[in-house]
Structure 1
Amino acid sequence: MEDLKIVIADDDASSRTILRHFIRLFPHYNVVAETASGEELLQLVLQEQPDIVLVDISMPGLDGMEAVKICKQLLPSVQVIFITGYDEFAVEAFEVSATDYIVKPIERTRLFYALEKARKLIDMAKRWATPAKQPSKRLGIRSKNAIVLLPMEDILFVEKESRKTVIHTVNEQYETTETLNEIEKELDDDFFKTHRSYIINLKKVVKITQVGETYLAHFLNSEKVAYISKLKFHEVQRKIFDMNR
């Protein structure tokens, strides 16, 4: 289970001491910083990127409620547990999406319940988070008086053929007058020049066979093959191994 980082903000030193003591008794929670002011809480949230903040509402200067509103803008994922001597702020606390609201004196069991509630919300947010889909990188080539934009993930290999260059996908091939070296500069790190006449998409290779002094790269769902020189064979093996670790 992952340890969660906690920042404590309370102007009462004895309350901070009690909170630290209780949290040490709970596994997988770690107090990374504490403060007695709302202003410093903002700095700590930016600096420490905590998972949870325990905040007293009544503090001199910037009070806990206003500090939390700003914290939520700085770090929307942070879980907020208010620790206060007053219960009249409970409604306002939940209006700023507080995880829980504990009225002093602080009880160990009540604190643990609040922290576990925060953990469940953090875990839930991670499960439901969908990573942003990265836009497909494309290779732009001039082919037959047209500009073709090929998704790089669709390219199996690029081949030099006499005075032209041919880009191969599973079902198509595209001819261009651009040189192999010009195209190599546009390709990403998945591609490697395996032969003076071939650049291969290493992520698409499913098998390598030896034919005499050279090697052939085979690709998924395709009968096309590309050449790997004897000098490049071991480097190709290493690169493919590193990509699949």
Structure 2
Amino acid sequence: MNDLKVVIADDDAVSRAILRNFVRLFPNYDVVAEAATGKELLQLTFELRPHIVLVDIYMPELDGMEAVKLCRQFLPSVQVIFTTGDDQFAVKAFEISATDYIVKPVERIRLFQALEKARTFIEIVNQPVTSMKPLNKRLEIRMKHSIVWLPMEDILFVEKENRKTIIHTADEQYETTLPLNEVEKRLTHCFFKTHRSYIVNLKKVVKITHVGETYKVHFFSCEKVAYISKLKFHEVQRRMVTIHL
């Protein structure tokens, strides 16, 4: 892969210089532009189509959070690393699928780790589609007195409950004795095991919220929720980028 294009956005010139000098120490990353406002970041992202943006939260004209949301509208694949002096926006940052969130003062090693995480996300996005699981259109569910062939796109998530496995759609739920791991093998690449007891259709996710040591998954027009373990959260982020491109 060629060098990844990086744009730095921060209203403080000293902070931009620190980030620029750090990035120059790392191979395979190239700072192509700097922005002092959210509007400048928006324009540069549109013109240069960077792979990665390093963004402060507090900036004039348009704050970093809002600027990133707008950037993602025309460049969904851009990887966002927030670098800010305030830790209170971390959950909101991850809700909009930020790659990482670094609290200032930024340390060189910490920045490198975040950039490498962004590189991993980009490599996943660029993987050939042929490496994904085959696309089966329906899931066969065998129950006590019937067999159901459920369209994959109707499934929101699959849940393990005691010795039962429950497949949830927006309107119905189907119980089977088939183990969760066996169900996982039969699902398409849109599904991911987010927790030891949950497999989620990532195409159906509309919001993720932080609850204690786990994350709650919300679906459109549905009160049912699933869960993501703390250890699986970043992997979910990576896969969400791939799924929604």
Taking structure 2 as the reference length, what is the TM-score of the superposition? 0.52
Task: Output aligned runs, 1:32-71, within 5 Å.
Answer: 32-71=32-71
- CA separation in 2, counterparts of 1:86 and 1:42? 22
- CA separation in 1, counterparts of 2:18 and 2:129? 35
- CA separation in 1, counterparts of 2:56 and 2:119? 20
- CA separation in 2, counterparts of 1:29 and 1:75? 19
Give the equivalent residue in structure 2 for 1:123: 123
- CA separation in 1, counterparts of 2:128 and 2:94? 22
Q: Give the CA deviation at 1:105.
A: 0.2
Residues 21-75 of structure 1, C-alpha deviations (whole Å, 9 max, x = no match): 0011000000000010000111100100000000000111200000000011110
- CA separation in 2, counterparts of 1:96 and 1:70? 11
Give the equivalent residue in structure 1 for 2:2: 2
- Identity fraction in percent: 70
- CA separation in 2, counterparts of 1:21 and 1:113? 16
Q: Give the CA deviation at 1:128.
A: 4.6
Task: Output aligned runs, 1:1-245, within 5 Å.
Answer: 1-129=1-129
Q: Give the CA deviation at 1:129.
A: 4.7
Aligned-partner residue type, residue 35 of structure 2: T
Q: Which has the larger radius of gyration?
A: 1
**Distance change >3 Å, CA 123–CA 47, structure 1 → 2:** same
Q: Which has the higher contact order (CA 8 A, sep 6+)?
A: 2
- CA separation in 1, counterparts of 2:71 and 2:54? 12
**Distance change >3 Å, CA 129–CA 68, structure 1 → 2:** farther
- CA separation in 2, counterparts of 1:129 and 1:5? 24
Q: Give the CA deviation at 1:5.
A: 0.1
Residues paired across the two proteins, number = 130
Aligned-partner residue type, residue 48 of structure 2: E
SS at match of 1:58: coil
SS at match of 2:87: coil
SS at match of 1:6: strand
Q: Give the CA deviation at 1:2.
A: 1.8
- CA separation in 2, counterparts of 1:42 and 1:60? 13
CA-based RMSD: 1.0
Give the equivalent residue in structure 2 for 1:242: none
